[in-house]
Structure 1
């Protein structure tokens, strides 16, 4: 059974289509090795992850290697696959996962672990590594959670610890050589264990004390007692995808993402990423600009996000931002800095960001009181925070988001009250600003992470979490402030797996059997099932939240992040007395041990490499285009094959990006959020093909209609094709106002009513045709007759001519079936009839 047969029954079929612009499809028979890059969450989340995109491009640059993608299927697709006995397949070639040589999972979040096992099950791959033979794919994991991979150790063959750009390529080369040599799986694992940064759990043995603590964590290879993480020494020369895969549906982050730096030197004591990605390595400003230019041209996005753990700390951030705005402001490209620190955010930076479009404004003080910020080494003051928000409100931002944590080590009731007071101060700082000021407060529960100074600390339990959440919520409500929080049960479970050991593998497996999936989603999370899984495995999850002794063997002690445990212990002592550890970017070396001061060292960019900054141009106002040059381009577009499963809003976004890639001179609306002046005809029912989607583009200057059609077709993904185009006067009516009626064709089912001609005649002769339709779960009485201009019966099809309304209930009524059955029939919008005959399609 092909996926296409299942798609009509899915709520979001566009998650599973593939064929996007920028995707790479290779013939499996023409490569030596294939790898399925697996993201254990849905498409719209995984497509927003930059590391996944980097590896996809790097691997596919090897002519001997094919990398394809697979994302976790939502419950509806999982059910369909299980009922049909069909395997989970990749997007590019729809190959079953079991047919790949390597299956690589990225571990971004502990609450995605059950999805990994679910995907293995659906792929026809045994969960446990000891149950796989030489014919099964090698299961590899990587990502930040791989720095404590032990809860999943029963399920993967090996892990890549640290930066994956070079290590994963080396791993693929080793698998290729092993296959060529005809080696067995055990021999392959021996070969992989020789690669720096590759961890093979079968080569380590763990023993436990009676009280549950680890008694011994021993490598079975004496020459390799620990696995040192891999690092990318030079970010500037590292490959980066400048022709990204452009999603066919709206994703979490619809934008061009550019990594301007990797690593952080701030030393926040709770932040795992700040330690495992050290030292800081910055990409040059000119390198960033080159990537942005190529990526915008290839993707058609309207926003650029400059990514790092602290974008404002980038050495050349102000000249880089001014340069980007000077180049792209006129084309309405917004620039966002999603990871900003109060101390690095200047009025000049904010002024640059707001020139085209004010993107989100989020700050993370983490703690409310000065005392607790000193404990966690946050290094910002309340005065700096309030002054920053005052400037933001003055520049036109209306909503500021503040992120805090509760349950931090040494936290008291006074620290919680300080969160309320600080949020209220921020709101007050916007008093008198035009349009008002608002604050959204988001509070998460502190979860101790491996390889941080707080890795030994206790995590508060669920009851205490809820008590502190209630205190904050009530206090903020009294100040007329909104609060969002993480479910106490989710934070509890995250804490268990963040510092868990191998015994948790049995719990994960049992939880999957009980139906646990998408545990990071509120509407899917079922804590009762997890409680049952822990009980069935005779493990107490609360035991994993306890404080650890500094002399205790930790489950991740055999993973070397490059920073010695002694440094973390010293930082923990510094936290207890509220002593600051300075930022080595601007101060003395803190002695974390990560740098060798030769290959591995702090690498900051040089502002002199940027060159002259272009003058920043404000976007041209609408009146800048002379009326004699303005025109309208009307297009007729076909939406066929898998393209018919793209919803209308997703289709609009997809087409907007194609227009930008084609470089057509579309006019924009005015205001803070300018939008291209593109008009679409009425929304098409999802799952229906079309040969007549009418789209108007309001252009600032005339173009060749034929040339525009060719340019657009070169930029559209599979399933979309512009059939024809024509230039109209710009004052012409929009498509919806120009169309008199629309013509639809439904293929007749084998069991079509024998009296169908009579039913059609009766329908057309009636003044009213009452029927019941299901809308939002309720039966609603409707009249089907208005809007139906004509019905024609062909030998194999039913043709409806509709002035308004959906053709689905009319076809269902005439064929004597429900709408669900009609949706399964091959159907197509075959044409439109205009109210007048413009010089166009």
Structure 2
């Protein structure tokens, strides 16, 4: 196995913890007995990918197999990508630093069309040819999945296999097929032919696409008998599906850093714009008992401070009030909050809100989607303005101060009057909080992008000019009402629309865009629309053509992908939309024959709505016996690359996992009473970090030490624990000075000893530093107590502050060069103490 050492890069890039690996909960399997290795690749940055719920499910399923191993890889942020290119280093996995090209399978998740250039960029960084036809038999099998795989045609020239639908069972069958192919020495073609016989696997090379003169698809022709369409893969029962209860605990703050619990999959609401509402049918719920057990295990193994109950419409879960009540009763005393990120107006009752706010008020976002009753009928949203205002009024009265509203513009049949009603509805929401002490409203409006496998898949998308006109109209109207307005750039929505309903001819545009340097297109600071327009022009492709309205008799690029619902159903839903007719929720009403259920194995699976009663609130805490424990901790190896705020979060979660009775602050956002030394500079290791814990009970200090050490990632270790008086100084106040060692570089100033002597004799040593973009004069001498050369190293004793700037001045080097020398803190001196 080839391994890459990127330690040098970690000292030069922002947020090095993106690339550290070794997080608690991660799994690194040895080579012995492993027959199939799969790299789970997320084509976005680490903190986004780590927040995606599907990855850990597949990760743990594969790693539960004795003969298989899964590792993770994420897109390198531009600074790391530049380092890889300049140093001719390939992209590698987090767990073992294995080259991507050495895996048997690389599996990409396609969550968002604007991540496609990152996918190609990762293949390039792995040293693999982009196009399938250019890769040889030794190359990994390139697999894609996720919601965008329901129209994977823009990427069809680059991947080998697309997994359509649920992956829990299919991923095992994929790995088993690769295992068999290796054992029986199959060719790549034999493996692909075998996979084409398994439900849910789409092999693009087994379909030929031809085009009419005007550019539309003429025909999608299968190249294998019996392989005319690719059916979606279904997980019939969520209750028995595997779910990871030992989460990977990131060092850094990710987008969603919490226990994410999928309580249901699928939705019956039938919002006509929502692709997920169709491709994840039918609804399958987990039982409250299973949910609580999985959450309890996950909290115990993670130390997270928040539980997120996930589904497309969490408020529609059959036992939501009882489940939420029991979770709050069980975990409120531990200050664990519960969030419901996907609530639907009408399902959010005052009782639910009362439960949510018991620990702290988590986010409050509501999605009316459209401003007028008429337009909400068109999209089958099924809520009224009165429903919305009752919900927001309750939220304000219960103490929420900010409500976020999410809308779309450019919806089918939309007029300017609909947008004026959007402004008025947002204004009414603000008024609903009058007299409650706070009534802020944030209004977010995205541009509607028609998606495949929805009733609006034929509908045109508004162009850039019209998008900007509507945005200006909303911006001006909302500003007058003193409402904050957020929106997506018109160019981003335009590009999303091109690739959402694109075809195979866009492959050359993607290649050209990557050549021109397009990456992280979903990130505003990296999106370069001019480069994209150059790529389209260079490939002689008109992107605006892809936004047009489609004819009903037209062959759509994704017609050979079967989502389980026929085009005839989508057509009837579109007709009803244009008439303003509702399609009722089939959860409690009549089946509207969408075709997804077979009413045997594949059917709606709901829990008994009476199955979960709110539990009684846990008894109050026993009488406190306040105790303070001081820990001495070392931070070495990869741990020295963990930034200070990441270190604080990591340790607080370790305290939770250890089950220690830590004391909490009061207020709406209680924090554990844990105090630390001042921040250690990035890249500096330490043999003497102090941490004080305030506990509500007296506990043996040896137990505190041992229970915490089990919970700390590699590189962190507690070497001493002792009880100290309750009113002792905090760690940062208790330390009189800290001692550091700086290894000397090969090239030294000729007069280093004289520079040291002059420094110590000076009253001031002033340097100019840049602080937040401004020059600032700093006296280095004030904090230096001792300085000498010891055993071929520079030793510094500082009252406070960073040793890096002092060493940089003495050695006539840049701070980043000093950081690479592996500076160490070797000891501390406490006030009123003569010993280190």
Q: Structure 2 length normalisation: TM-score?
A: 0.98
What does residue range 355-754 of structure 1 map to in structure 2 within 5 Å?
355-434=358-437, 436-610=438-612, 613-617=614-618, 626=624, 629-754=625-750
Aligned counterparts of 1:151 and 1:266: Cα–Cα separation in 2: 30
Residue 180 of structure 1 and its aligned partner are, at CA, apart by 0.6
- Report the equivalent of 2:189: 186
User: What is the SS of the residue equivalent to 2:711?
Assistant: coil
Aligned counterparts of 2:544 and 2:421: Cα–Cα separation in 1: 29
- Report the equivalent of 1:220: 223
- Report the equivalent of 1:271: 274
Alignment partner for residue 67 of structure 1, among 47, 67, 70? 70
- Report the equivalent of 1:36: 39
What does residue range 279-428 of structure 1 map to in structure 2 within 5 Å?
279-428=282-431
Residue 614 of structure 1 and its aligned partner are, at CA, apart by 2.7
What does residue range 63-102 of structure 1 map to in structure 2 within 5 Å?
63-102=66-105
- Report the equivalent of 2:178: 175
| Per-residue Cα deviation, 1:63-95 (whole angstroms, up to 9, x for no partner) | 100000000000111111111111100000000
User: What is the SS of the residue equivalent to 2:142?
Assistant: strand
Alignment partner for residue 133 of structure 2, among 107, 130, 135? 130
Residue 617 of structure 1 and its aligned partner are, at CA, apart by 4.2
User: What is the SS of the residue equivalent to 2:661?
Assistant: coil
Aligned counterparts of 1:594 and 1:507: Cα–Cα separation in 2: 35
User: What is the SS of the residue equivalent to 1:274?
Assistant: helix
User: What is the SS of the residue equivalent to 2:107?
Assistant: strand
The answer to whether the Cα contact below 8 Å between 2:196 and 2:227 also exists between their aligned partners in 1 is no
| Per-residue Cα deviation, 1:582-638 (whole angstroms, up to 9, x for no partner) | 00001100110111100111110124544x643124876xxx754xx2111111111
The answer to whether the Cα contact below 8 Å between 1:161 and 1:230 also exists between their aligned partners in 2 is yes
Please tell me whether residue 762 in structure 1 is matched to residue 758 in structure 2: yes
Deviates more, 1:804-813 or 1:341-350: 804-813
Please tell me whether residue 19 in structure 1 is matched to residue 15 in structure 2: no
Aligned counterparts of 1:462 and 1:646: Cα–Cα separation in 2: 43
| Per-residue Cα deviation, 1:721-771 (whole angstroms, up to 9, x for no partner) | 111111112211111111111111111111122322221111111101122
User: What is the SS of the residue equivalent to 2:106?
Assistant: strand
Aligned counterparts of 1:625 and 1:728: Cα–Cα separation in 2: 20
Please tell me whether residue 834 in structure 1 is matched to residue 830 in structure 2: yes
Deviates more, 1:125-134 or 1:755-764: 755-764
Aligned counterparts of 1:680 and 1:459: Cα–Cα separation in 2: 54
| Per-residue Cα deviation, 1:473-517 (whole angstroms, up to 9, x for no partner) | 110010000000000000000000000000001100100000000
Deviates more, 1:325-334 or 1:814-823: 814-823
Residue 258 of structure 1 and its aligned partner are, at CA, apart by 0.4
The answer to whether the Cα contact below 8 Å between 1:448 and 1:455 also exists between their aligned partners in 2 is yes
| Per-residue Cα deviation, 1:757-813 (whole angstroms, up to 9, x for no partner) | 221111111101122223334443321110111112113211111112221111111
| Per-residue Cα deviation, 1:255-309 (whole angstroms, up to 9, x for no partner) | 0000000000000000000000000000000000000000000000010000000
The answer to whether the Cα contact below 8 Å between 2:319 and 2:610 also exists between their aligned partners in 1 is no
Aligned counterparts of 1:473 and 1:517: Cα–Cα separation in 2: 29
User: What is the SS of the residue equivalent to 2:828?
Assistant: strand
Aligned counterparts of 2:304 and 2:777: Cα–Cα separation in 1: 43
Aligned counterparts of 1:614 and 1:392: Cα–Cα separation in 2: 23
Deviates more, 1:792-801 or 1:458-467: 792-801
Aligned counterparts of 2:779 and 2:326: Cα–Cα separation in 1: 59
Alignment partner for residue 151 of structure 2, among 145, 148, 151? 148
The answer to whether the Cα contact below 8 Å between 2:319 and 2:611 also exists between their aligned partners in 1 is no
Give the direction of change, closer, same or farther, for the CA distance of 1:165–1:46 in structure 2 (3 Å limit): same
Aligned counterparts of 1:780 and 1:480: Cα–Cα separation in 2: 38
Residue 695 of structure 1 and its aligned partner are, at CA, apart by 0.7
| Per-residue Cα deviation, 1:557-596 (whole angstroms, up to 9, x for no partner) | 0000000000000000000010000000011001101111
User: What is the SS of the residue equivalent to 1:836?
Assistant: coil
The answer to whether the Cα contact below 8 Å between 1:285 and 1:607 also exists between their aligned partners in 2 is no
| Per-residue Cα deviation, 1:679-700 (whole angstroms, up to 9, x for no partner) | 0100010111111111111111
| Per-residue Cα deviation, 1:647-706 (whole angstroms, up to 9, x for no partner) | 101110111111100111110000111100000100010111111111111111111111
Alignment partner for residue 257 of structure 1, among 222, 243, 260? 260
Alignment partner for residue 785 of structure 2, among 784, 789, 813? 789
The answer to whether the Cα contact below 8 Å between 1:356 and 1:619 also exists between their aligned partners in 2 is no
Aligned counterparts of 1:418 and 1:449: Cα–Cα separation in 2: 25
Aligned counterparts of 2:167 and 2:640: Cα–Cα separation in 1: 37
Aligned counterparts of 1:619 and 1:645: Cα–Cα separation in 2: 41
User: What is the SS of the residue equivalent to 1:801?
Assistant: strand
Aligned counterparts of 1:250 and 1:537: Cα–Cα separation in 2: 40
The answer to whether the Cα contact below 8 Å between 1:355 and 1:618 also exists between their aligned partners in 2 is no
Deviates more, 1:822-831 or 1:314-323: 822-831
Aligned counterparts of 2:465 and 2:619: Cα–Cα separation in 1: 53
- Report the equivalent of 1:243: 246
- CA-based RMSD of the aligned residues comes to 1.3
Deviates more, 1:269-278 or 1:164-173: 164-173
Give the direction of change, closer, same or farther, for the CA distance of 1:205–1:153 in structure 2 (3 Å limit): same
**Unpaired runs of at least 5, structure 1:** none
Alignment partner for residue 821 of structure 1, among 814, 817, 825? 817
The answer to whether the Cα contact below 8 Å between 1:329 and 1:619 also exists between their aligned partners in 2 is no
Residue 119 of structure 1 and its aligned partner are, at CA, apart by 0.2
Deviates more, 1:745-754 or 1:167-176: 745-754
The answer to whether the Cα contact below 8 Å between 1:668 and 1:677 also exists between their aligned partners in 2 is yes
How many positions carry a matched residue from both structures? 833
User: What is the SS of the residue equivalent to 1:423?
Assistant: helix
Aligned counterparts of 1:451 and 1:834: Cα–Cα separation in 2: 67
User: What is the SS of the residue equivalent to 2:527?
Assistant: coil
Aligned counterparts of 1:706 and 1:177: Cα–Cα separation in 2: 51
Please tell me whether residue 205 in structure 1 is matched to residue 201 in structure 2: no
Aligned counterparts of 1:466 and 1:52: Cα–Cα separation in 2: 36
The answer to whether the Cα contact below 8 Å between 1:264 and 1:278 also exists between their aligned partners in 2 is yes
Aligned counterparts of 1:736 and 1:196: Cα–Cα separation in 2: 61
Q: Structure 1 length normalisation: TM-score?
A: 0.98
The answer to whether the Cα contact below 8 Å between 2:8 and 2:820 also exists between their aligned partners in 1 is no
User: What is the SS of the residue equivalent to 1:301?
Assistant: coil
